[in-house]
Structure 1
Amino acid sequence: MTTELSFADDGTRLVGDYVRPPWPGPYPAVVFVEGSGPGGRDQGAWPTRLAAAGFASFAYDKPGSGASTGDWTGQTIADRATETTAAVRALRDREDVLPDGVALIGGSQGGWVAQLAASADDTVAAVVSVSGPGVDVLAQEEHRLRHQLPAEGFTEADVRQAVALLHDQVRRVRAGDDPARVHAEQARWHAAAWYPLLAGTTPRSIGFLAGIADYDPAPALGALRCPLLAIFGADDLLVPVRESVRVIADTLRAARHDIVVFPHADHNIRIYAGEGPARVRNGHYTPGVRAPGFDELVVTWLQRHCAAPGTRH
């Protein structure tokens, strides 16, 4: 059963879909934390899957997307975390939600955001991070370019130039340069076939990237007190999986956490019949199948950490 739900954060009105099981609550619940880009409330089959397992869920349009006001390109990771805790409060205020049973599911950039939000809000029951990097933003972006571009057939010279532009954008905006001027002065590269794969391809996206480039997830991981499930795909081209696993394991050595790496899976935890380079075309993943066991892992882990008596399995 789906109803529209809205909440406010720093003058912005965020709107999304609240989906609940078809039996009376109160229910444990999940807030979806979107990854990079404009994003929206569409989480595919996940809300229905969670409802069948006894969870309510809330997915909302990012600022400036769909029905939400504001502008996501003006946000930092900290801004997004504050927004996420406001979404958690909106669920905890509902009579049909267990106030101590609200978890976060963050994908990619949303993994950083979910961990930071939970580190600052001890009412968050648990966090599921899907392909959430354990390294800082700039390191992750450089890793992505060095692996995604060759997978799409670009040369080593292309990679070097793309990485150079990435660092030039961040360095200049950090130093106070106008993102519009940075973008204009890189105009000779705009027609390059690899240019659309940069994170910063417009003045707004260059400004956004520079604003979050320094974010390091280690302090938030160190402050995390709720259980964390960190999921990765072994063949992820966008995130340094081995380094991320090492950082998370070392940082949370004494805390409750689980780390799962699905073999042959990509950034979206999907598996493909073809070879690696065939998976990516023009910056987008070709269709694949969800890694076997992924859905069951997430649901059963959440049930273990958030489910209330009477939750239906």
Structure 2
Amino acid sequence: MRKKIRRVVAATAGLALALGLLLAVGNEYRFEEERVSVPVPGGSLEAVVAHPEGTTRGLVVLVHGDGPVDATYDGLYRPWFEAAADAGFATLSWSKPGVGGSTGNWLRQDMDERAAEVSHVLDWASAQPGLATGTVVLWGASQAGWVLPKVVRSRPDVDAVVAVSPAVNWLRQGRFNLLAELDHDGAAAPARREAVEVSDRTRELLESGADHDRYLARTTDPEPLDADRWGFALRNFRSDATADLQASADRHVPVLLTLGTEDRNVDVAETGSTYRRILGDDVTVARFRAAHSMARPVVEDSDALGLLTGTFWPRALLAPGVLDTYRDFLEGVAPG
């Protein structure tokens, strides 16, 4: 028995050592991360700058999607930082208002205010002697699809855009997501009808401008939105990127549009066709067998596998080719 215990202890220790070595190697990145504070009207944003190890030829400014996201997305953005660094680009990313050390509340912003926030960050960056802002690339995911073209149309200093899984229309995106999730879960007909009825009622209440109390009194959603989230929806549910894309198209800024064939959040067929129709030859569409986050579908659908992969080898979370395509695009961006 004692020999068996010793073997188990030795095996456990060996596994711990192996995992420790894997963690050290998997999370050792080719950039230097600096924490900074970016002043904005009414407060400041807690931010990080990921500097390349060699010569810096430009700056990527990262625009988050939905949710209370910090500057590194709990470390999940670092593989993107590294790919940019390999192309000679620093990356600037900040915690959303009310997250970490950033002041404010992201749920009280509309898309115009989010775009103004990006513009303030760009102004700050251009005044920093340690940042190479001669070439500026905007990187934005998901909800940032309603922010990026607003910034591009108003800022002549944006030289390129990377749009990751953006939607076009808020309401259509919500309905697509609902139906895709019901299909994925194999929902029976009664459950589907109930979910669609809840969605339709929510849309009616949004279009009528219902306050949170009226929403709570009228909704049949078993998990109703809290006051802040309902306010956020009221401010933004009419969002549609089409007009801003059309206005930004006049600048002929190169755009890399990355889409996942397994995306259940966004109708990538609509997004792809809309971007191609409006931006023409200025957009490069790259499709991957990936989920909405550009993650491999297997890790997106397994919390345990996603946690293990994100902890010990976060680069492997993303679908094959995603980071290489991103790096190659940055290497081809012409100086501003």
Matched to 2:156, the amino acid is D
How has the CA–CA distance of structure 1 residues 272 and 168 changed in structure 2, closer, same or farther, with 3 Å as cutoff?
Answer: closer
Distance 1:180 1:117, change over 3 A: farther
Letter of the structure 1 residue corresponding to residue 141 of structure 2: G
Contact 1:183/1:206 (8 A) holds in 2:
no
Partner of 1:209: 233
Ranges in structure 1 where 5+ consecutive residues have no aligned partner: 309-313
| Superposed CA offset, 1:28-72 (max 9, x none) | 011111100111111232223322331111110101111101111
Structure whose alpha-carbon radius of gyration is higher: 2
* Of 44, 52, 57, the match for 2:91: 57
Q: How far apart, CA to CA, are the structure 1 residues paired with 2:96 and 2:165?
A: 19
CA separation in 1, counterparts of 2:113 and 2:199? 23
Give the share of equivalent positions with the same residue, in percent.
26
Residue 74 (structure 1) aligned to one of 94, 98, 108: 108
Aligned to 2:184: 151
Q: 2:83 touches 2:326 (CA, 8 Å); kept in 1?
A: no
| Residue of 199, 214, 218 corresponding to 1:166 | 199
For 1:1-313, list aligned pairs within 5 A. 1-23=32-54, 25=56, 27-42=57-72, 43-133=77-167, 135-186=168-219, 189-190=221-222, 195=223, 201-224=225-248, 225=251, 226-253=253-280, 256-262=282-288, 264-272=289-297, 279=301, 289-306=317-334
Name the counterpart of 2:12.
Answer: none
1:273 positional shift? 5.2
SS in 2 for 1:97: coil
Cα displacement (A) at 1:18: 1.1
1:297 positional shift? 0.7
Higher strand proportion: 1
TM-score by length of 1: 0.84
SS at match of 1:98: coil
Structure 2 CA distance for partners of 1:64 and 1:273, relative to 1, 3 Å = closer
TM-score by length of 2: 0.78
Q: For residues 306 and 285 of structure 1, what CA distance do their matches in structure 2 show?
A: 38
Contact 1:170/1:210 (CA < 8 Å) preserved in 2? no
- After superposition, the Cα gap between the structure-2 partners of 1:12 and 1:32, relative to the gap in structure 1 and judged at 3 Å, is same
1:4 counterpart SS class = strand
State the distance in 1 between where 2:238 and 2:279 align. 21
List structure 1 runs of 4+ shifted beyond 6 angstroms: 284-288
Q: Which runs of 5+ in 2 are unaligned?
A: 1-31, 310-315
More helix by share: 2
Tell me the distance in 2 between the aligned counterparts of 1:265 and 1:9.
35
**What SS class does the counterpart of residue 48 from structure 1 fall into?**
helix
